[in-house]
Copies of this chain bind each other. A is one copy, B any other.
Amino acid sequence: TGCAAGSRPATCSSWSAAEPSRTAQHRAAGPWGPPSSSPAMLGFESGRDDVLRLSPQTPGSPAAPRRQSKESSLTINCVTFPHPDIMPEQQLLKPSEWSYCDYFWADKKDSQGNNTVSGFEILLQKQLKGKQMQKEMAEFVRERIKIEEEYAKNLSKLSQNSLAAQEEGTLGEAWAQLKKSLADEAEVHLKFSSKLQSEVEKPLLNFRENFKKDMKKCDHHIADLRKQLASRYAAVEKARKALTERQKDLEMKTQQLEVKLSNKTEEEIKKARRKSTQAGDDLMRCVDLYNQAQSKWFEEMVTTTLELERLEVERVEMIRQHLCQYTQLRHETDMFNQSTVELVDQLLRKVDPAKDRELWVKEHKTGDIRPVDMEI
């Protein structure tokens, strides 16, 4: 059935059971398409509870159940909960999962205590904050990219500097390679920064493109259902008041009949009874409509909060994955960096002062004929 779950002293199962397809249709049209699990799959209890049927034909009887109702349930902000004194045994929809669908049924006073915030609003704020966090992480990565680019630029510039460029021989070769290695390092850091951008920053930003729009849609949808619930609650209250008046009228007229028995009065009593019965029927229809609306809201709350929950899992997994990508890129950067000095090390091992002297002497020698003593 499409009704609210939990053990219920009174249900509208007879009416709501007549409209299962409408509810299902609505669910399918939700902002994220078909829900991942139907209420039945989630372990919703079906309406096998004891059904209390109201006989509108019994005058005065509407008052009695109402008093009973007042004891067994409690309507807060137009949502009807079981009465705290007669706490029904409710099993969580998704036990031990700390699922959003189980913990956000009540409204909450905001920090100033003036307005109430719905549980759903709190979940939405969590989603929006999560997205903000994701955006800030992307910004952080952006800053890191800038630092890497700056570092690479400086290394590259220093690499091209002419300092000690005239060093010669094997030492000169090792030195030239050391200078070149800075350009290699710069290359490694540039690659790091470019991969950071394509593999970390961009995915973090991309993910949230339609998110806010979806959240707003979602917000409006649930808010509309709450408004409908409120207006139907108002209708119930109005119908209840009307019934009370009709019952009072009927009672009065019945007492009048006992005093002076007349044909005209009997006619009026019949009329008053018909009107009272009609008011009872009205109330019944209003309660039915209210319960339908609450049922609809309930279902949408379950499917939507489950969807938000799924989105949050997705967000955490996705961020985790891209932060792992970050550490992976850092590792690779360190690895590639290692290799930039390997060639320098090789050439440093080949540095040979004797060889360098040979090269230099061959080029600059002035004469190897030694002086001899002068003869007279």
Segment from A30-38, A214-222, A253-261, A351-359 that makes contact with B: A351-359
Tell me which residues from 309 to 349 in chain A have a Cβ below 8 Å from any Cβ of chain B: 309, 312-313, 316-317, 319-320, 323-324, 326-327, 330-331, 334-335, 337-338, 340-341, 344-345, 348
Beta-carbon contact of B178 and A369 below 8 Å: no
Contacts of A126 in B (CB 8 A): 360, 364
**Option from B143, B341, B372 in Cβ contact (under 8 Å) with A8:** B372
Tell me which residues from 89 to 137 in chain A have a Cβ below 8 Å from any Cβ of chain B: 90, 92-93, 97-100, 102-108, 118-119, 122, 126, 129, 133-134, 136-137
Judge whether A291 is part of the interface by a CB distance below 8 angstroms.
yes
Judge whether A203 is part of the interface by a CB distance below 8 angstroms.
no
Q: How far is the CB of A326 from chain B (nearest CB, A)?
A: 7
Beta-carbon contact of B164 and A143 below 8 Å: no
Beta-carbon contact of B374 and A287 below 8 Å: yes
The 6 tightest CB contacts between A and B, nearest first, are: A106-B367, A10-B375, A103-B365, A69-B375, A136-B164, A119-B366
Judge whether A75 is part of the interface by a CB distance below 8 angstroms.
yes
**Option from B122, B147, B351 in Cβ contact (under 8 Å) with A364:** B122
Chain A residues in the interface with B (C-beta under 8 A):
3-6, 8-13, 52, 54, 62, 65-66, 68-69, 72-73, 75, 79-82, 87-88, 90, 92-93, 97-100, 102-108, 118-119, 122, 126, 129, 133-134, 136-137, 139-140, 143-144, 147, 150-151, 154-155, 158, 161, 163-164, 166-167, 171, 174-175, 178-179, 182, 236, 283-284, 287, 290-291, 294-295, 298, 309, 312-313, 316-317, 319-320, 323-324, 326-327, 330-331, 334-335, 337-338, 340-341, 344-345, 348, 351, 353-354, 356-358, 360-362, 364-376
**How many copies, total?**
2
Q: How far is the CB of A347 from chain B (nearest CB, A)?
A: 9
Q: A13-B373, A126-B360 are in contact. List 4 more A-B contacts (CB 8 A).
A: A73-B375, A81-B372, A93-B370, A323-B344
The complex places the Cα of A154 from the Cα of B298 at a distance, in Å, of: 52
Closest to A358 in B: B98
The complex places the Cα of A8 from the Cα of B324 at a distance, in Å, of: 82
The complex places the Cα of A136 from the Cα of B176 at a distance, in Å, of: 13
Interface-central residue, A13, A75, A103, by most chain B CB under 10 Å: A103
Q: How far is the CB of A213 from chain B (nearest CB, A)?
A: 22
Beta-carbon contact of B324 and A357 below 8 Å: no
